[in-house]
Amino acid sequence: MVKKNACVFISGAGTNLKALLKSSREYNFPININYIISNTKQAKGLKLAKLYKIPFRVLDLNKTANLEFFFKELQKKKISLICLAGYMRILNKNFINRFNKKIINIHPSLLPKYKGLDTFRKVLKNNEKLTGCTVHYVNNRLDSGKIILKKKIFIESSDNEKTLKTKVQAKEYRAYSESIISIFR
Ligand code: GRF
């Protein structure tokens, strides 16, 4: 299989990045991860870039000079997919139009419910019985692009933000890889 080249954007722990790196090692997974971007050097996920020997950059993409550099790199590396994995910045319309290829994101709720931050707290506060995660295309409105895949979990009365996060993230790791397979099928 000829794999597509992908770039993953992170800001934090990078557990979704880890799951994607593992999937990408499988011969029939449709992408390789060739580039990792973080907006902060504090992102723990950058350790994975080093471990897996994937080129990475800490870049503030709000700066025009960085943006020019970044788009040149994307061309050189023939990147045809950007995966946001816990990336805490919003990509603006110009960025999305300029890339002109697929950009996808994973979000810890069943969209369109609970866009934005603090999903676990909001879900518990509203006594929801179900929550989960959603993989979607990125457009210029927050967590609003076309949905690719959702996975559900049931909320138990004993759940708190921490247990929910663990349960939802376990679903995320599979959801993200399955979505990428479905995109390139
Ligand atoms: C995930 O829960 C994802 O849904 C959200 O940010 C979190 C990132 O976690 N967008 P990690 O950095 O992949 O561990």
Nearest Cα residue to atom 8 of ligand 1: 86
* Whole-model pTM over 0.85: yes
Give the other-Cβ count within 10 Å of 53's Cβ: 7
Domains in the chain, please, with CATH?
4-183 (3.40.50.170)
Nearest to 177 by CA among 67, 26, 2: 26
In the block, tokens 């009365």 appear at 157
Radius of gyration for the chain, computed over Cα atoms and rounded to the nearest angstrom: 16
Name the DSSP letter for residue 38: E
Active site residue 107: yes
Amino acid 19: pLDDT = 98
| Cβ-based burial of 35 (10 A; exposed 0-12, middle 13-18, buried ≥19) | buried
The segments of the chain whose pLDDT lies below 50 read none
User: Which numbered atom of ligand 1 lies nearest the CA of 165?
Assistant: 2
pLDDT of residue 1: 83
**Atom 1 in ligand 1: residue holding the nearest Cα:** 86
Nearest CA to ligand 1 atom 7: 86
Pocket of ligand 1 (CB under 6 A): 10, 12-17, 45, 85-86, 106-108, 133, 169, 172
Q: Which candidate, 181, 183, 178, 7, places its Cα nearest to that of 91?
A: 7
